[in-house]
Amino acid sequence: MAGLGEIVSVLLGTRAWPAVYVGGLPKGVREVMRVTLESLAVTFEDGVDRPLLSGICAEMGYSVTERDSRVEEVYDQHGNLLERRTVEWEFSPRVMRGDVIVAHVSPDLSQVYVLPLLDRGAVDLIEAYRRRRYG
């Protein structure tokens, strides 16, 4: 049975995508697929445990972002400022290294999309998550 690092190396060596890894998968992993040139999808047997993922990210120097906001200014037809309001929105968790998204969780929390070409350590992060979650 191969580890996620080995599986990622095999999939990055393929010349076509999407490509699904065929072989023994680590415990807790249902599927590993190369989705695009730079992204891989790791599908777990269970939904992603957000608190566990956030804790591992903090330990490894990553941050997890699940919401964002911006300030909108509303003007009348004469250009007078009427109000300022903050607009907030939520999204599925994004794993960040500085300002770069290196992985993100699917909206249904079943998959983690990893961008190993941006940060090879993101694969190690997902492997650490898998080991803690499934043993």
Provide the pLDDT for residue 132: 94
Q: Under DSSP, is residue 48 helix (H, G, I), strand (E, B) or coil?
A: coil
Q: Give the domain extent around 84.
A: 4-134
Provide the pLDDT for residue 106: 92
State how many domains the chain has: 1
The strand pairing partners of 86, in sequence order, are 71
Q: pLDDT digit string (tens) for 43-97?
A: 999 999 989 999 999 999 999 998 888 899 999 999 999 999 999 988 889 999 9
Mean pLDDT score across all residues of the chain: 91
Q: Are 68 and 89 in contact (CB under 8 A)?
A: yes
For the chain, what's the residue count? 135
State the number of CA atoms in the 13 A half-sphere of 91 facing the CB: 12
Provide the pLDDT for residue 12: 86
